[in-house]
Every structure is written in structure tokens, then in C-alpha cells.
Amino acid sequence: MKRIGMLLCISLLTIALLLAGCSSTPRQEDLYGKIFIYEKEGFGGNFFITVQEDGTFTYYEGSLSSYLGFGTWTLEGDLLTLTDTVREDHPRVFCFRFTGDELIYIAERSDEFTFIKVADGERFSAAKASS
């Protein structure tokens, strides 16, 4: 009887550890120090988003773009919301699914960028920021 109880306890512990390891809810800390680069590039070069630890972000739509976007970000579950506050009278919102290594654009919930069109489901891949 003790052996069955011990096997049951080990089985339940194994399942709990597996489930804990499968947790894919990203944390805010996972964003810090990352630059996300658009796979298809931007207007004349890389389109990238940089996320800072202080809750702000910047983005450039490419090397030929004269537009610099900036504002604040929030992360709820895996939904990253960037609020571009360049024009205080008309803030723009961009939504992404955050996987830890990628941002996946959600067009339906987002405003359009200034110089380029990013389609629903397009990916921005993470690169470590240089110190």
C-alpha cells in the first residue's frame, strides 16, 4: 500500500513539474534590453522596436524614415500594447502577442504605422541590445 501511495505521489509531482515547465506566460522582465526587428525590413532598412525597462519604447520604421515613434508599453498576459504618444492629441496603439523571442503583430487591434504596412501575424524577432 505504501508503494502505491509513493508511486501516486511521484506521478502527481511529475505532472505538476511538467505543467509548471509548460507555462508560457511571458514576464515584463523578458522584454527588457531587447530590440525587435521586423523580418521584412522597413522603409529603406531595418524596422525595429526597442523596449526599455522604464516602461517606454521607441521605434524606427527604417533608415529612410523620418518618423521616430515613442511612448509607453504595457504587458497583460502575452498581449503587448504600445501606445505611441508622439502626438498627444492623437495617440496611436499597436498590439502584439509576445512569445519571448518574437512580437506577433495584431492588425485588427492596432493603428497603422506611418510609412509601412505591417500585415496581421507579421513577426518582429528579438535581438539582444548591445551594452
The CA distance from 42 to 106, in Å, is: 17
> Which pLDDT belongs to residue 111?
95
- pLDDT digit string, tens, across residues 45-86: 999 999 999 999 999 999 888 888 999 999 999 999 999 988
> Which pLDDT belongs to residue 16?
44
pLDDT bin (cut points 50, 70, 90) of residue 17 is very low
- CA quadruple 84, 85, 87, 93: dihedral sign: positive
> Which pLDDT belongs to residue 72?
95
- pLDDT digit string, tens, across residues 91-129: 999 999 999 899 999 999 999 998 899 999 999 999 865
